[in-house]
Amino acid sequence: MSGVKNAPYMMLAERVYWIDALIYDRSEYNRCMSKSKNPITVARAIIRIGDAARNANDYSLLGALHEMVEQLSRHGVKDTYVDMDLLLEYVEAADGCDYCRAGDGKPSFDELTTKINQQLARRGQAQVEASDQSVLKFEPLVNLVTAAYAKNEDGVTSGLSIALVVNQDGSVNLPRDHFLNSELLEYFDENHPVDWRSAERDLPSKLHGYHLVAGSVEVQEILPRELEVISF
């Protein structure tokens, strides 16, 4: 198998003999092909050799390549990315007469090359699209937290509510003008970041003599733009 290892460094004429040997080693080749159930990745190698041989007018190599692809097709071998019938038609066109194909209404060599390129590029296109989606910038969500506070003075109960916005980084914004804002900001400066999942635990238990009402804390995930239309 030393010929396979050194294949990239062969002259085109030398590759003819390597491909011929691959094709005509019937016993081992047929045994392997008969057991092949999974697709193989061979299309890129075929069109690289085909293009190079065609550009060099090396029709011996094109003929050998043609026979090799016929063998693959005959044994039901599939390529991972390109339809094997398309590859077979490609090598037939590379080894044939462009004018004859045009007269028979068959696709030209260039048209077949384009079709192969399109099939080869499908995986790359999917990769690019997946990459584009992975870097899409979505508007970050925030959490609107509301809570009630109450106090009892001389048997009279009074109450108030607060509203705050917890950002993704745990910082807090206060969307409502409230006399408690300065006290709230001072509290959160000393007690941050705030975890919206445990908002009731992270809120101050007392504010200006008012006590946090148990069970009154509500959290809702919203878009920042919604704050512009909420009446606080």
Note whether 141 and 223 are within 8 A (CB): yes
pLDDT tens sequence across 203-213: 999 998 999 99
Q: Hey, is 43 helix, strand or coil?
A: helix
For the entire predicted model, the pTM comes to 0.45
pLDDT tens sequence across 25-76: 444 444 444 445 678 888 999 999 999 999 999 989 999 999 999 999 899 9
Is a pLDDT exceeding 70 seen at residue 18? no
Q: Which residue has the higher pLDDT, 107 or 139?
A: 107
Is a pLDDT exceeding 70 seen at residue 215? yes
Q: What is the mean pLDDT of residues 193-200?
A: 88
- The lowest-confidence range among 38-42, 80-84, 118-122, 200-204 is 38-42
Note whether 113 and 90 are within 8 A (CB): yes
Is a pLDDT exceeding 80 seen at residue 188? yes
Q: What percent of the chain has pLDDT over 90?
A: 44
DSSP character for 229? Answer: T
The distance between the two most distant Cα atoms of the chain, rounded to a whole number of Å, is 108
Q: What percent of the chain has pLDDT over 70?
A: 82
